[in-house]
Amino acid sequence: MNYSKINTVLWIFWLLYWMISARGNKKTMQRPKPGLRLVVIVVVLAVGVYLYQHHSPRLDMRILPDTRQMQQLGTACTAAGVLFSIWARRILGTNWSAAPTIKEDHELITAGPYEFVRHPIYTGILLALFGSIVLANGRLRDLIIFVFAVVLLWGKLKIEERLMLKAFPGTYPDYKRRTKALIPFMF
């Protein structure tokens, strides 16, 4: 069984779902200036491209065994992450936006996966990336790329947190105190 192809199909399914479900979202009322976020995205993408194109014995060094079980675990994590992020996206509904924004009649969603983490879409994406990149490939290069993805999403998360605190000053602080950001009950 070719687990790499299965992971690719899972990501294509995720991308198609994301594109189709983006239709009909609420009108954007407020968004932060893209300055720093844009710089971070460009740097992260440039480093990612460099790491994938630059071959060196150190970067190609295996940090995880290349076994069928590791491939299966990677595909299971990819599938779980894709499904978790899609579930979160469905629950978020028309409040969703690719960039951190406040929508017209924005609602604070705390149901479904938002009961477990404040940013379940990011949790799902990171789990899927960890499975399809780190576990499936198992090289140092893949771990570094994953860390850059974490940094990118963490920066975006911080921008969203500021917007939510501003939009929901009475309810978001309590939600933030009782619900972890990315990993249920931990972080």
Q: How far is CA 71 from CA 65, 74, 84, 109, 187, in A?
A: 10, 5, 20, 35, 27
For residues 94 and 50, the model is more confident at 94
Instruction: Report the alpha-carbon distance of residue 47 to residue 145 in Å, rounded.
Output: 8
Q: How far apart are CA 184 and CA 187, in angstroms?
A: 7
What distances in angstroms separate CA 99 from CA 1, 30, 157, one per listed residue? 37, 11, 10
The residue whose two tokens read 């604070």 is 108
pLDDT tens-digit readout, 29-86 = 767 666 666 776 777 778 777 777 777 888 889 999 999 999 999 999 999 999 999 9
Q: What residue ranges define each of the domains in the chain, with the CATH number in brackets?
A: 34-99+106-178 (1.20.120.1630)
**22 pLDDT band (50/70/90 cuts)?**
confident
pTM value? 0.88
Q: Which of 60-64, 156-160, 183-187 has the lowest mean pLDDT?
A: 183-187
CB 114 within 8 A of CB 33: no
With a pLDDT cut of 90, the percent of the chain lying above it is 61
